[in-house]
Amino acid sequence: MENLVVYKGIPCKLLAAEEPFPSRLQITSPNDISKAMQIGFSCWGYPNEIMKEVTPEELECLQHFGRFPLN
């Protein structure tokens, strides 16, 4: 699973859980690094792996609606 979604206004790839990693979001544009870091993303690998683990609630919303939050 690799879907394009929007998380708090930031376009991301939704990456499926793969041992040992949980489901996570990866930003798609380096222009969003600063905003992403402010809302809980971190660098998992230089230079472009800016990612965030997603909670079960976030995952369900992203899978069904393609964005989080809904409003």
Which pTM does this prediction carry?
Answer: 0.89
> Of 55, 41, 44, 47, which Cα lies nearest the Cα of 12?
41
Say what the pLDDT of residue 54 is: 96
Say what the pLDDT of residue 48 is: 78
Say what the pLDDT of residue 43 is: 95
Domain ranges of the chain: 2-66
Do 23 and 16 form a contact (C-beta atoms < 8 A)?
yes
| CA trace torsion 65, 66, 69, 71 (10° rounding) | -60
Residues in the chain with pLDDT < 50? 1
